[in-house]
Amino acid sequence: MRELPTRREALVRIAKSAALFTGAGGITKLAYDHGGFDLSVHAGERQVRDFSVKTPGPPPQLAIAKSSRDPAELVRRAVEALGGMKRFVSNGDIVAVKPNIGWDRMPVHAANTNPLVVAEVVRLAFDAGAKQVVVTDASCNEANRCFQRSGIWRAAHALGATVLLPAAHRFRELRMKGDVLDLWPVYTPLVNADKIINVPVAKHHNLSKYTGGMKNWYGMLGGRRNRLHQNIDVSIADLATFMRPTLTILDATRVLMRNGPQGGNVDDARDLHQVIASLDQVAVDAYGATLIGEKAENVHYLKLAQERGIGSLHWESVPHVIV
C-alpha cells in the first residue's frame, strides 16, 4: 500500500502538476521524481551491472598508499601496486568516474572526494587509452554549487574530462530485484560506460556509521532516495550487488571523522594522507571504516555484502600491500 503524502508533499505535487503546462521539461521532471520503494523481497535473480576486469596475475586485491601529502602521488602508487591503470582501462574505453560530489562543501570539509584525487584518476584513465572520461554524480545539495565548490568540476575539466551535471533526462527506470531496491530511476551515464571507477571519500555517516565506496552508489539514484534511509543497510547492499565497479579508489587524504555525511566544521575532519585502491569493494570499505575508529563488523551493510558474496569483510585476509 502506498503511504499517504504529507501536506507538504501534496503541495509540492500540486506545484509539479502545474509545471506540466510549461512544456516537456516539466513532464521529464515528474517522470524522474518518483521512486520504486518497496520493502518486500522480490522474486527472481538479482540484477547485476558487472564492470570488473577478469585478468589473471599475482597483483594484490587491495593497495594502501600512505605517507605523502601529494594526493596525486598516493593515487599513482595505489593503482600501480594493483598492476597499473592499463590493467583496468583499454584503448577506446568510455570510463565513468564516480566521485562523491554530494554536498555544497569545500575540500577542507572532507564531505566530497578530494578534487586532486579525482583529477589523477582522470589523468591515469586517459593515459591508459580511454577515449572519454565522464565525471559525474547525482548530488544531494544543488548540483551546480556542489560541482563548483568541491573543486571537482574545474580539476576534472582541465584534464579533458566530460563533467556532467545530473539532469532529469539522464535517468531511466531499471529493475534491480533487490530486497529494498526494485524499480528505480538510475543515472544512465554510470551504467552505460565501458568501465566505471568508484572514487568515494571515507567519512562518518550518522545512519550507516561509515560511508565509502558502497554507500557512494546512492549517487546513481534519482527519485526520493531519502526514503531508503528506512532500511539503509539493505539498500546499500542492494546497490553494491547491482554495481560491480572496475576499480574502487578510496580517498582518505582528509577524512570526516564525525557529523557526516555532510559535515561543515573543519574541526570534524582529519588529514590522514592515504589512498586505497581495491578490486574488492567490501574489503576497501572494511579498511576505510577503521580510519574513523569503527569496526567493520559493526557496519551492518558490510556484513550483508559479505553474506551475498560481493567481497570480504575481513580486509586483512585479502591479498594486500602497503606502499
DSSP secondary structure, 254-281, as one string: EEE-SSTTT---GGGEEEEEEEEEES-H
pLDDT at 9 over 70: no
How far is the C-alpha of 63 from the C-alpha of 211, rounded, in Å?
19
Domain count, the chain: 1
Residue 15 lies in a domain: no
For 49-69, b/e burial (b = at least 16 CB within 10 A) is bebeeeeeeebbbbbbbeeee
H/E segment holding residue 286:
helix 281-291
Identify whether 1 is part of a domain: no
Residue 44 pLDDT level (bands cut at 50, 70, 90): low
Dihedral of the alpha carbons of 238, 262, 11, 218, in degrees to the nearest 10: -20
CATH number for the domain harbouring residue 44: 3.40.50
Range of the domain at 165: 34-322
Q: Compute CA distances 286 → 94, 128, 213, 295, 320, whole Å.
A: 29, 29, 10, 8, 13
Higher pLDDT, 145 or 12: 145
Which one, of 321, 250, 247, lies nearest residue 88 by Cα? 247
Per residue in 221-234, pLDDT tens? 998 888 898 899 99
How confident is the model at residue 47, as a pLDDT?
Answer: 85
Considering the domain boundaries, does residue 219 fall inside one?
A: yes
136 band by pLDDT with thresholds 50, 70 and 90: very high
Confidence of residue 54 (pLDDT cuts 50, 70, 90): confident
Residue 273 domain-assigned?
Answer: yes
Residue 3 lies in a domain: no
Give the strand pairing for 195-199 and 243-244: unpaired
Beta-bridge partners for 94: 132
The answer to whether the CB of 243 falls within 8 A of the CB of 187 is no
Q: Which range among 21-25, 32-36, 105-109 has the greatest average pLDDT? A: 105-109
Supply the pLDDT for residue 36: 38
Average pLDDT over residues 28-41: 34
**pTM of the predicted model, to two decimals?**
0.86
> Which of 277 and 227 is assigned the larger pLDDT?
277
Q: Give a yes or no: residue 117 inside a domain.
A: yes
Q: What is the pLDDT of residue 25?
A: 32
Query: Has residue 29 been placed in a domain?
Result: no
- What pLDDT is stored for residue 225 in this prediction? 86
- The reported pLDDT for the residue numbered 137 is 97
Q: What is the pLDDT of residue 105?
A: 97
Residue 1 has pLDDT above 50, yes or no: no
Within a domain: 19: no
Query: Residues near 162 by Cβ (< 8 Å), separated by ≥ 6?
Result: 132, 133, 134, 135
Contact (CB, 8 A) for 135 and 178:
no
DSSP 106-135: -GGGTSS--HHHHHHHHHHHHHTT-SEEEE
Would you state the pLDDT for residue 57?
63
Whether the predicted pLDDT of 26 surpasses 50: no
